């Protein structure tokens, strides 16, 4: 597991005075710049500099100790994500990630068409099935995205859990970026980028049509939006075939700025290849996946759990 190391457009981390409780208004409201500045200071103070800072060793993900739970939760509150590494190894028990998620208030699964009957999706190479036409079920790279960016507005994916049962012989690395860091990068560059990305027609996902049958209609929506509790939500995909951007020039400039960030060797982008018994729990942060190779002994299998809730208390 490695972490990118070159500079991004965000000012380097530094030791700051103890954060004060200055955030009385929503920091994501563009009319409240003082609230944003206070929140930004708290967000960046002590932000983890290494992937290893996100990792929590646990005995059994199905039944965390209070210390293990608190360690994972504190990382999720800071970075919207954490990586756990347990002793279950290649145990294929789906209860491992499901019970871990339940301990963080993640209970309402998104039963998407690729999911198994229990709502949990088994990610593996499936050449012979219909899933084989979708990139997550191949060994090809997956570009930057948030999960469920094509979902209906009332069924947005707020929480995400990935659990590794077996790793590929090589490859399969995930890059991870806290969507709040992406927000800071864009707002610092130009607050109008945020306004553009909050347009209800900022991005449109074309309909999903198979053999002349429309499986999902076209859906438009913002990149950044605020949840009922005031928290920031993001939907995004870098796949050119899966998105139509608004013709607004500011949307185009914001998209370029975000693309540049995601292509940079930024210290805020973590890179990890999950191994058996390890998993990612997050508030649907930005992520990608490199291509991978399998052999007879090492075939990649992960469980993916998508939730309509954020991690409780984050």
pLDDT per residue of the chain (314 residues) written in tens, 0 to 9: 432 333 345 654 443 343 444 556 999 999 999 999 999 999 999 999 899 999 999 999 999 999 999 999 999 999 999 999 999 999 999 999 999 999 999 999 998 777 788 889 999 997 755 544 567 889 999 999 999 999 999 999 999 999 999 999 999 999 999 999 999 999 999 999 999 999 999 999 888 777 777 777 889 999 999 999 999 999 999 987 778 999 999 999 999 999 999 999 999 999 999 999 999 999 999 999 999 999 999 999 999 999 999 999 99
Q: How far apart are CA 74 and CA 313, in angstroms?
A: 10
> CA 207, 213, 216 angle in degrees (round to 5)?
30
Q: What are the pLDDT digits (tens) for 49-61?
A: 899 999 999 999 9
Asked if 123 contacts 131 with a C-beta cutoff of 8 angstroms, the reply is: no
**The predicted structure's pLDDT at residue 105:** 98
Q: How far apart are CA 179 and CA 191, in angstroms?
A: 16
Q: Is residue 168 assigned to a domain?
A: yes
Q: Is residue 10 assigned to a domain?
A: no
Name the helix (H) or strand (E) containing 288: strand 286-289
Q: How far apart are CA 37 and CA 45, in angstroms?
A: 12
Q: Is residue 94 assigned to a domain?
A: yes
Q: Indicate which CATH number applies to the domain containing 238.
A: 3.60.130.10
> Sign of torsion, CA 54 270 150 122?
negative
Q: Is residue 1 assigned to a domain?
A: no
Q: Is residue 6 assigned to a domain?
A: no
Print the domain residue range for 58: 43-307
> CA 246, 239, 161 angle in degrees (round to 5)?
110
Cβ-proximal residues to 250 (8 Å cutoff; 6+ apart), any chain:
192, 193, 195, 196
Q: How far apart are CA 96 and CA 161, in angstroms?
A: 11
Our count of domains for the chain comes to 1
Q: How far apart are CA 167 and CA 43, in angstroms?
A: 33
Q: Which two tokens stand for residue 227?
A: 């949840």
Q: What are the pLDDT digits (tens) for 289-312?
A: 999 999 999 999 999 999 999 999
Number of alpha carbons in the 13 Å side-chain half-sphere of residue 112: 22
**The predicted structure's pLDDT at residue 240:** 78
Cβ-proximal residues to 138 (8 Å cutoff; 6+ apart), any chain:
125, 127, 132
Residue whose tokens read 């954020």: 310
**The predicted structure's pLDDT at residue 213:** 76
Write out the DSSP string of 60-123: -TTS--HHHHHHHHHHHHHHSEEEEE-S-TT---THHHHHHHHTTT---B---TTS-TTS-EEE
The SS3 call for residue 173 is coil
The CA–CA distances, whole Å, from 159 to 89, 188, 235, 290 equal: 23, 26, 12, 22
Q: Is residue 219 assigned to a domain?
A: yes
Residue whose tokens read 């972490």: 3
Residue 6 burial by Cβ neighbours in a 10 Å radius (0-12, 13-18, 19+): exposed
Q: Is residue 22 assigned to a domain?
A: no
Q: Is residue 263 assigned to a domain?
A: yes
**The predicted structure's pLDDT at residue 23:** 54
Name the helix (H) or strand (E) containing 165: strand 159-166
């Amino acid at each position: 597991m490695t972490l990118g190391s070159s500079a991004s457009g965000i000012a380097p981390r530094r030791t700051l005075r103890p954060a004060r409780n200055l955030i009385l208004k929503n920091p994501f409201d563009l009319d409240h710049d003082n609230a944003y500045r206070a929140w930004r200071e708290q967000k960046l103070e002590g932000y983890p500099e290494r992937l290893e800072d996100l990792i929590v060793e646990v005995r059994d993900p199905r039944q965390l100790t209070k210390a293990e739970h608190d360690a994972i939760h504190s990382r999720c509150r800071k970075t919207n994500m954490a990586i756990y590494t347990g002793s279950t190894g290649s145990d294929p028990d789906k209860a491992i990630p499901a019970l871990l998620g339940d301990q963080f208030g993640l209970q309402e699964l998104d039963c998407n068409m690729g999911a198994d009957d229990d709502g949990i999706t088994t990610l593996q190479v499936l050449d012979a099935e219909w899933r084989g036409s979708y990139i997550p079920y191949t060994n090809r790279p997956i570009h930057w995205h948030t999960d469920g960016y094509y979902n209906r507005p009332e069924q947005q994916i707020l929480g995400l859990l990935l659990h590794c049962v077996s790793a590929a012989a090589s490859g399969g690395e995930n890059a991870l970026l806290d969507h709040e860091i992406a927000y800071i990068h864009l707002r610092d560059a130009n607050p109008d980028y945020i306004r553009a990305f909050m347009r209800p027609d900022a991005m449109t996902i074309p309909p999903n049509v198979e053999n002349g049958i429309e499986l999902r209609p076209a859906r438009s929506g913002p990149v950044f939006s605020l949840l009922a509790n005031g928290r920031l939500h993001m939907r995004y995909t870098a796949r050119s075939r899966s998105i139509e951007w608004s013709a607004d020039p500011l949307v185009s400039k914001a998209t370029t700025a975000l693309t540049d960030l995601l292509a940079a060797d930024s210290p805020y982008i973590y890179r990890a290849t999950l191994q058996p018994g390890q998993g990612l729990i997050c508030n649907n942060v930005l992520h990608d996946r490199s291509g991978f190779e399998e052999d007879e002994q090492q075939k990649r299998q992960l469980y993916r759990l998508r939730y309509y809730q954020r991690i409780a208390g984050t």
